[in-house]
Homo-oligomer: A and B are copies of this chain.
Amino acid sequence: MTDDRRSAGAPTLEDVARAAGVSRATVSRVINGVRNVDPAIQEVVRQAVSVTGYAPNRAARSLVTRRADAVALVVSGAGVEAESGAGAAAGDGGSFTAQVFADPFFGRVVTGVVDYLRPRGMHPVLMFAETSRDRDEVVGYLRQGSADGALVVSTHAGDPLPGLLAEAGLAAVLFARPARPVPINYVDLAHQDGARLAAEHLLARGCRRLATISGPLDVPAGRARLTGFRDTLARHGHAYTPVAEGRFTQESGEAAMERLLAEHPDLDGVFAANDLMATGACHVLREHGRRVPEDVAVVGFDDSSAALACRPPLTTVRQPVEAMAAEMARLLLDRPTGPSSPATSVIFEPELVVRASA
């Protein structure tokens, strides 16, 4: 009886040790791949492990190693207090999370993060921070040691989360430079260069009456793409560029295109600051009887799945989101963990992808 009184719960190190006739420490060494263990014993232990069906208890391990083998992947929203409380019936553009996933962009971030994490036995815990209460939850979660750090994607300017994280001395990496400087690592894209590529392509194609649908101007990326586009045109002798501001959604892209068309019915080329808005622009152009690209050429930004889904397929500026996301994870985990080490940033270069729309 005394022998298998443990038979109840899951097998523990102790069980394996007994089965293999060695100490817990030795089993632990084998499992963690520590050297200095007799090959013969290693084999015995491995046998015992598979016989008992042992799986190490992660909580126990975390307790002593002080690592969670998990990272928080947080999508951080408005700085304002929406306190919207979610609600099940999300028609569309409804709850924050629904909105987030409407852009194929976020899926690519997940892809990149998972690809980096998985080979390392780590996993992302999904968190959405919209209200200040949510943000406290994220900070609390990390302080509890539930995750080894945070990967944060802000959807709005002036997001307070990066500041809170930095203040609490928690490990974190941002996707994109924060609107206001915060001492945190981040990865970003050379947005201006991307916009320049778009402008040059449109110009080379012969377009002369260009306009742009910008992203939100309080977001650094939105502003940079506009600046890059405008400056390039200016350098080529186009002093004035009509702008309609969008919010990176297809719907806002449609509205912006309507405005642009109303004020400049003769335009022959449009640069939209992301693919979703470019798709919306294409819809509106077609509804107004303009052919894309014959009458009006359209260039998008991101090279997300929306670019391929669009009719015609979008010529766009590729943002290597997956690689950027993987780099975020690397920055978070590979760092010399010194809280004193200066904030690093890694900037990626965009690339023009020519398809049918321009």
Contact = CB atoms under 8 A, between A and B. Distances in A.
Contact of A128 (B112, B114, B326): B114
Interface centre among A70, A92, A320 (most CB of B within 10 A): A92
Nearest to A10: B143
Contacts of A60: 59, 63
Contacts of A106: 101, 107
Contacts of A102: 104, 107, 305
A51 interface: no
B286 A311 contact: yes
A75 to B, nearest CB: 10
Count class of interface residues, chain A: 35 or more
Nearest to A307: B92
B101 A140 contact: no
Interface in A259-311: 279, 283, 286-287, 303, 305, 307-309, 311
Interface stretch (A17-25, A83-91, A339-347): A83-91
A124 interface: yes
A88 B323 contact: yes
Contact of A112 (B88, B112, B311): B88
A208 to B, nearest CB: 28
A190 interface: no
Interface of A: 10, 55-60, 62-63, 68, 70, 73, 86-90, 92-93, 95, 97-98, 100-102, 104, 106-108, 110-112, 114-115, 118, 123-128, 140-141, 143-146, 250, 279, 283, 286-287, 303, 305, 307-309, 311, 320, 322-323, 326
List 8 tightest A-B contacts by C-beta distance, closest first.
Answer: A101-B107, A59-B62, A97-B111, A55-B143, A59-B63, A58-B144, A58-B146, A86-B115
25 contacts: A10-B143, A56-B144, A57-B144, A57-B145, A58-B59, A58-B62, A62-B62, A86-B111, A88-B112, A89-B323, A97-B114, A97-B115, A98-B108, A98-B305, A100-B107, A101-B101, A101-B106, A101-B111, A102-B107, A114-B128, A123-B126, A123-B146, A250-B309, A279-B309, A286-B311
